Structures are given as structure tokens and as C-alpha cells.
């Protein structure tokens, strides 16, 4: 994508528990600010919407100002203001959308509504301020989106053009890891602690929990039965045995989740004939998933890209800005500021061209 100066975008994301703003120029991130609320939600074992809203409201002005200041640009240099309008928590999304509308009104800049999951799908293409890494678009791609709220296999046909091949029927992959961690007595978020425990026993699959929805050709995901299997197993153990088995329980659970993601992706590759794979969302940071997916895709002679920098796996506004720049370049979705509203259950299909 050529870098011209009509693609300087300020982006805002308040979809869940991070208050985030960034300034990008095309795919290059000029500044990126993320104010995490994770510590505020930790003691509740998950994200509490009312706490999230208040925290977003308290910090949004500061986060946006800092993103602009760090970019060394001024509001008048911007070509548009991108904002996540869904999917996410309604009362959290509202804070970002309101702020973006205010800024658009004050500055007269166009407002660009962006789907949060589009951001995760584009995250492997986000570059640092120097333009690294150089990854050229070579459509079509198969996208695996794995976060706390979503698990989706997506056919990414061309810029801003998507088809959903399979989605979750109940818990998302990240949500399953979060719930498993809670069952094992750990806090939120669960992904990192499960990963650490599993690595300590070299990913041993002692319990071989049932792999859900492994029906040939089926690309849907269901992780709630797996969570129930873990719960029953833990209940059947004495406190002493449970504590001794923690690492094996965590490892077996993680294997069941990752092997399911792996096999469904392989099926989607076979069904579509596409062997260029993208992975995005919080679970994409998991080293076990990365190892298994790289190996499988390599065996199929394909290529696989994950988000190139750690923060890009998680919620951030840089990825929203990159999608905003692509939309702005094509003069798509530039809405009059009065019109946009948050859409908590927004689907990727609604954002597809």
C-alpha cells in the first residue's frame, strides 16, 4: 500500500477493557497509547461493564491527547477519525464513539466507523513507525480470529471483503481459557497462566479432554462442553490431588483448545484451497498455538502471519487506525458524525463490502 499523506488517522477503541488511541499513517503506527483496566477487573474475575465505562470516561481525553502529542502531529494534520463502533460492550463502546464524534465535529474531519474484528484481522499487517515489517497483501487469506469474545474462521477475500466460514456457538477460545483458569483457582485473564502452567509440563495431554465439534467438515466452534469436562474432573479430585495435578489439568485443557483451533483451520484450508493464514486476537499471542499452527501450515506449504508486535495481539487502536486508513483511502464509510452509533453485536459481514 503506498504511503501518502491523506492517510493520517486518529483511531479510538473502547470496546472492552482497554482505553486506546493511536495515530497512524497508512499502515505505520506513529503513536499508540493503551490504558489497561485489567487490574480493576481482576478481583471480579472478568470485565465488569459499569466499571469499564467509568474508567473509559475518566481516561479517554488523556489517552487521545497523549496519542496526538506522541505522534508529533496536530489535529489539523489528521485526515480522519476512526472509531470502533462494535462489536463490544455497549456502554464501553459509547464512550469512544462519543469522543470521536466530538472530535470530528470540532475539527470538521470525517468520522470512520470501524469493526473491532476487522482490526484484529488486519493486525498482522500493522507496521511500526519505520514501516516494519514489510508484508505485502496477497489476497485471499484465511483468517483465524481468537479473542476473549470471538472465535471465527474468516475468508478474507480482498481489502474490507469478508466471509465468515465458521464461528463460535458458545464460549470463545479466550473465554474458555479464562473460565478454565477460574475453575483451577486463578484470576482473570486466564490465558497467560494456563500457558505458563502447560509449558512447565511440556504440553502434556494427561487427561485428553473431549475435542468439541470435531464433525468432519464442520467449521463451528464450541468450547463450553470442554469447560464442563474440566469442571467435573476437578470436582472428582481431592484438594490435594487437584493441587498436584494443576499443571497437567491446565496443559490438557490448553491442548484441547489449541488442537481444536488447529484442526478447524486445517479443514478450512483444505476446503477453500487457501494456504495463506492470518491469526489475530488475544489468544494469538499463545506460543503453543503459534508453534502448532506454524508447523501445520508449513506442512501444507503455506504461510502464516501473526501480529508482529506483542501489543497487536490484544485490544489496541493502532489496528483500528490501519483499517480506518484503508477505508479513508477508498472513501468508504466516511459517515456524517451525527449518524453513527455503537452496534454491540456487529458482525464482520456487516462491515464487508
Residue-level length of the chain: 353
Q: Are the beta carbons of 313 and 127 closer than 8 angstroms?
A: no
Report in angstroms how near the CB of residue 157 gets to ligand KG4 at its nearest: 23
> By C-beta, is 37 or 147 nearer to ligand KG4?
147
**Span from 35-43, 57-65, 169-177, 233-241 in contact with ligand KG4 (CB under 6 A):** 169-177
Positive or negative CA dihedral for 262, 221, 42, 309? Answer: positive
Task: At 318, give phi and psi (nearest 5°).
Answer: -60, -45
What CA–CA distances, in Å, run from 49 to 135, 243, 287?
Answer: 37, 32, 30
Task: At 302, give phi and psi (nearest 5°).
Answer: -105, -170
List the one residue from 119, 166, 212, 281 that touches ligand KG4 (CB under 6 A): 281
Report in angstroms how near the CB of residue 339 gets to ligand KG4 at its nearest: 25
> By C-beta, is 268 or 284 nearer to ligand KG4?
284
List the one residue from 96, 143, 166, 190 that touches ligand KG4 (CB under 6 A): 190
List the one residue from 115, 147, 151, 254 that touches Zn ion (CB under 5 A): 147
> By C-beta, is 113 or 148 nearer to ligand KG4?
148
- Reading the block at residue 275, the C-alpha cell is 494456504
d(CA 160, CA 324): 10
Positive or negative CA dihedral for 21, 60, 18, 49? Answer: negative
> By C-beta, is 109 or 179 nearer to ligand KG4?
179
DSSP 284: G
**Which is it for strands 161-167 and 151-158: parallel, antiparallel or unpaired?**
antiparallel
> By C-beta, is 12 or 246 nearer to Zn ion?
12
Count of H-run helices and E-run strands, the chain: 10, 10
Our finding on whether 177 is near ligand KG4 (CB under 6 A) is yes
List the one residue from 143, 191, 307, 321 that touches ligand KG4 (CB under 6 A): 191
> By C-beta, is 103 or 197 nearer to ligand KG4?
197
Report in angstroms how near the CB of residue 107 gets to ligand KG4 at its nearest: 28
Our finding on whether 13 is near ligand KG4 (CB under 6 A) is no
Our finding on whether 174 is near ligand KG4 (CB under 6 A) is yes
Our finding on whether 315 is near Zn ion (CB under 5 A) is yes
Our finding on whether 178 is near ligand KG4 (CB under 6 A) is yes
d(CA 121, CA 110): 23
3 state SS of 142: strand
Our finding on whether 282 is near ligand KG4 (CB under 6 A) is yes
Residue with cell 489475530: 280
DSSP annotation string for 158-213: ETTEEEEEEEBSSS-HHHHHHHHHHHTT--S--HHHHHHHHHHTTT--SS-PPPTT
**Span from 89-97, 145-153, 183-191, 236-244 in contact with Zn ion (CB under 5 A):** 145-153
List residues binding Zn ion (CB under 5 A): 147, 315
List residues binding ligand KG4 (CB under 6 A): 16, 147-149, 174-175, 177-178, 189-192, 195, 281-283, 285-286, 314-315
Amino acid at each position: 500500500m503506498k504511503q501518502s499523506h491523506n492517510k493520517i488517522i486518529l483511531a479510538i477503541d473502547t470496546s472492552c477493557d482497554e482505553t486506546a488511541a493511536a495515530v497512524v499513517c497508512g499502515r505505520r503506527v506513529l503513536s499508540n497509547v493503551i490504558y489497561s483496566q485489567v487490574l480493576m477487573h481482576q478481583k471480579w474475575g472478568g470485565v465488569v461493564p459499569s466499571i469499564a465505562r467509568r474508567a473509559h470516561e475518566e481516561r479517554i481525553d488523556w489517552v487521545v491527547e497523549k496519542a496526538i502529542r506522541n505522534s508529533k502531529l496536530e489535529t489539523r494534520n489528521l485526515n480522519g477519525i476512526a472509531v470502533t463502533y462494535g462489536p463490544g460492550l455497549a456502554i464501553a463502546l459509547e464512550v469512544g464513539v462519543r469522543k470521536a464524534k466530538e472530535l470530528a465535529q470540532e475539527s470538521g474531519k470525517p468520522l470512520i466507523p470501524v469493526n473491532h474484528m476487522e482490526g484484529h484481522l488486519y493486525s498482522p499487517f500493522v507496521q511500526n513507525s519505520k514501516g516494519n515489517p514489510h508484508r505485502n497483501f496477497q489476497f485471499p487469506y484465511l483468517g483465524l480470529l481468537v479473542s476473549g469474545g470471538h472465535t471465527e474462521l474468516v475468508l478474507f477475500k480482498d481489502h474490507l471483503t469478508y466471509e465468515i466460514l465458521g464461528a463460535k456457538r458458545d464460549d470463545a477460545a479466550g473465554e474458555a481459557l479464562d473460565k478454565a483458569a477460574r475453575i483451577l483457582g486463578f484470576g482473570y485473564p486466564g490465558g497467560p497462566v494456563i500457558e505458563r502452567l502447560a509449558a512447565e509440563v511440556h504440553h502434556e495431554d494427561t487427561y485428553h479432554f473431549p475435542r468439541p465439534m470435531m464433525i468432519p467438515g464442520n467449521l463451528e466452534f464450541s468450547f463450553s462442553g470442554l469447560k464442563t469436562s474440566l469442571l467435573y474432573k476437578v470436582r472428582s479430585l481431592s484438594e490435594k490431588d487437584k493441587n498436584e495435578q494443576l499443571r497437567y489439568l491446565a496443559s490438557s485443557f490448553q491442548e484441547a483448545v489449541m488442537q481444536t483451533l488447529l484442526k478447524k483451520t486445517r479443514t478450512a484450508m483444505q476446503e477453500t484451497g487457501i494456504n495463506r493464514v492470518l491469526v489475530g486476537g488475544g489468544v494469538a499471542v499463545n506460543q503453543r498455538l503459534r508453534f502448532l499452527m506454524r508447523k501445520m501450515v508449513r506442512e501444507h506449504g503455506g504461510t502464516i502471519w501473526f501480529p508482529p508486535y506483542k501489543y497487536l495481539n490484544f485490544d489496541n487502536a493502532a489496528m483500528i487506525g490501519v483499517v480506518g486508513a484503508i477505508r479513508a483511502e477508498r472513501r468508504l464509510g466516511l459517515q456524517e458524525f451525527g449518524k453513527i452509533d455503537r452496534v454491540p453485536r456487529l458482525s464482520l459481514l456487516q462491515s464487508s463490502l
